[in-house]
Amino acid sequence: MAYSESSIRVLKGLEPVKERPGMYTRTDSPTHIIQEAIDNAADEALGGYAQKIAVILHKDGSVSVEDDGRGIPVGMHPAEGVPTVEVVFTRLHAGGKFDKKSGGAYSFSGGLHGVGVSVTNALSTRLEVVVKREGRIHRMAFAGGDVVEPLAEAGTVGQRNTGTLVRAWPDPKYFDTPRVKRGELERLLRAKAVLLPGVKVTLADEESGEEKTWHYADGLVSYLTETLPEGGEAGYVSPIFAAERYAGTADASGFAEGEGAAWAMAWCEAGGAGESYVNLIPTPLGGTHDAGLRAGVFESVKEFVSHHGLLPGKVNLQAEDVWRSVRFVLSARILDPQFQGQTKERLSSRDALRLVSSRVKDPLDAWLNGHVEEAKKIADLAIKAAISRQKAGKVVEKKKQSGAAVLPGKLTDCESEDITRNELFLVEGDSAGGSAKQGRYREFQAILPLRGKVLNTWEVERGEIFGNAEVHDMAVALGLDPHGPDAPDEVLSNLRYGKVIIMADADVDGSHIQTLLLTLFFRHFPRLIDSGHVYIAQPPLFAVKVAAQGKGRPERRFYALDESEKDQILERLAEDGVRPDNIHTGRFKGLGEMNPEQLKETTMHPDTRRLLPVVLDREALEEARRMFTLLMGKGEASSRRAWMELKGNLVEADI
């Protein structure tokens, strides 16, 4: 095929969204593109211009979002030469949230990308906008992102009757399911009401006739109260500490006026959990604002403990000891928030850590010293956690009972005793672990879910590795003791599985977990690798579904390991004459998104899965040891940086 100047294609307008929707939104359902319209309404309320947000799930599958804010401007845009409302819905990176520092339309909003409702428009078969502004009603409509009904006046209203209504019909070909997730939508709307005290938020379902209303006068405190257990089995639960602090006009810390945070938190002996938001946008993966709250809380509690002399000798208090029992709701306001990805699930703004920690510390200092008895109970929880952590870090022997190691409780074992056939899957996350348990072959496949990142054991002494619960559980499940590279074959005599399969997400975190597990095996169980027992599962990143084409062509589904493989599948389908509108490509964001049947078919079934064997090259043993030291050694930060600067352009990372 010729490669010439005409081979270079330039995507214009909303074409990039249609070509790669997964880069701009979640494609599991249309919930996120509807959230974009809700976020715009919430931004009006955040600025004090709206008091009502109403969402309707219509019988025909469309969703409408209406607010009583100022209404999107409808006059001609000075640069684009078309109505401004048209610019908002048809141009990427266009919106009223860029010009902030010079008195723009929004002081605080959910983001600066400017692709929100234009993505909603691009991925909808039809979208209608009704604007009430300056005593007039204006209306226009789009289809597939293009204008089909130009802006026109549709009537008059009172001068104070203003607002915007957006109704969208999501295009099913872009989503795994054409319907929004009702539960997720309810949680989002409820959170908006919580974070906007005084604003009335409603959700109506035309099909069921059900309508829900959220209106919180007490905001965060009411919301957090509903999540707290009531003593008893939960143990101690502290009173709620709630406050808010924002930078003023003469703020010396360098933050813009109005930047800051509101929060509500309590300490619960049963364990911590929390929710965080940035300019009303939920951040389920947390980020730098969460880290700021954690830092401020730790410093405050640490100072209280030190001032009152509560810390026993040789006990070192760390942030995780204080934080592990905190339940919180955090709402941060940031002038120019930066997120990881357009779906805005994690905040990456560096200044947010300093912003939130500096806002929370002084009020918490005052609260702790004003509630001394409660503060001492909070300190006691942290001290107990610190003592427990330090004990776990010391040399620990494997737990034994009647001379035999007790298998870990979270291990779902197999029925067979044939070691050559038995397989142990080390699975990232409890969610994926649950699916793997349902999709496995009970006879010869065992599942051990791993929670979070495994300990980096490269510089941990052999006698101390069992201080980590995850490492201890893996060693007991495998039936192995730590050993050196020259250990005899007898060290594997109690091995319980012929294959040890690392099953992690196909992303950066999954690769990190793989590396940590391989570090453990290479450093402390080298004969396991040397004897060919270790494998890495290869879960797919994409699913390609082909709709049924007549009686002789039922629905088909293909799985692709990466982008290149997906493109090859699409090319093959095109050569077979399959129309593009009969093909839907979905992207897995992790193992937890796969149902048990998908996980079984792609990653666990011996005949359909792909496993990557881990091979130890004896001739390159020293080079492997050098690389592990470079990558995992605590004192190798500068060498790692130099290596990454040299080799960073070669990596293909799914970030």
- 3-state secondary structure at position 120: helix
CA atoms within 13 A on the CB side of 158: 3
- 3-state secondary structure at position 322: helix
Q: What distance in Å separates the CA atoms of residue 541 and residue 588, rounded to the nearest whole number?
A: 5
Q: Is 257 a catalytic residue?
A: no
Scanning 179-272, the segments in alpha helix (DSSP H) are 182-195, 220-227
Q: What distance in Å separates the CA atoms of residue 496 and residue 462, rounded to the nearest whole number?
A: 21
CA nearest neighbour of 337 among 276, 295, 251: 276
What is the 8-class DSSP label of residue 308?
Answer: T
Q: Is 507 a catalytic residue?
A: yes
What is the 8-class DSSP label of residue 347?
Answer: B
Q: Which residues are CB-neighbours of 344 under 8 A, at least 6 positions away?
A: 110, 111, 278, 281, 283
The catalytic residue among 509, 562, 565, 636 is 509
Q: Is 205 a catalytic residue?
A: no
Q: What distance in Å separates the CA atoms of residue 219 and residue 499, rounded to the nearest whole number?
A: 52
**φ, ψ of residue 38 in degrees (nearest 5):** -65, -40
Residues making up the chain, counted from first to last: 655
The catalytic residue among 299, 351, 413, 507 is 507
How far is C-alpha 65 from the geometric centre of its chain's CA atoms? 25
DSSP string, 128-166: EEEEEETTEEEEEEEETTEEEEEEEEEEE--TT--EEEE
Tell me which long-range contacts 562-571 makes (C-beta under 8 A, separation of at least 24): 566/541, 566/542, 569/544, 570/544
The residue assigned the tokens 């997400």 is 505
What is the rounded radius of gyration, in angstroms, for the C-alpha atoms of the chain? 28
**Number of Cβ atoms within 10 Å of the Cβ of 250:** 6
Q: Which residues, in sequence order, are bridge partners of residue 544?
A: 558, 585
Contact predicate 289/352, CB 8 Å = yes
CA nearest neighbour of 100 among 89, 92, 116, 112: 112
The catalytic residue among 43, 86, 345, 428 is 428
DSSP string, 371-421: SHHHHHHHHHHHHHHHHHHHHHTS--PPPEETTEEPPPTT-B--S---TTT
CA nearest neighbour of 466 among 385, 525, 403: 525
Q: Which residues are CB-neighbours of 443 under 8 A, at least 6 positions away?
A: 414, 415, 416
The two three-digit tokens of residue 384, written as one number: 């107990």
The residue assigned the tokens 């067979």 is 416
The catalytic residue among 171, 505, 593, 601 is 505
State whether the Cα torsion 114-14-26-57 is positive or negative. Answer: positive
Q: What distance in Å separates the CA atoms of residue 518 and residue 529, rounded to the nearest whole number?
A: 9
Q: Which residues are catalytic?
A: 428, 505, 507, 509
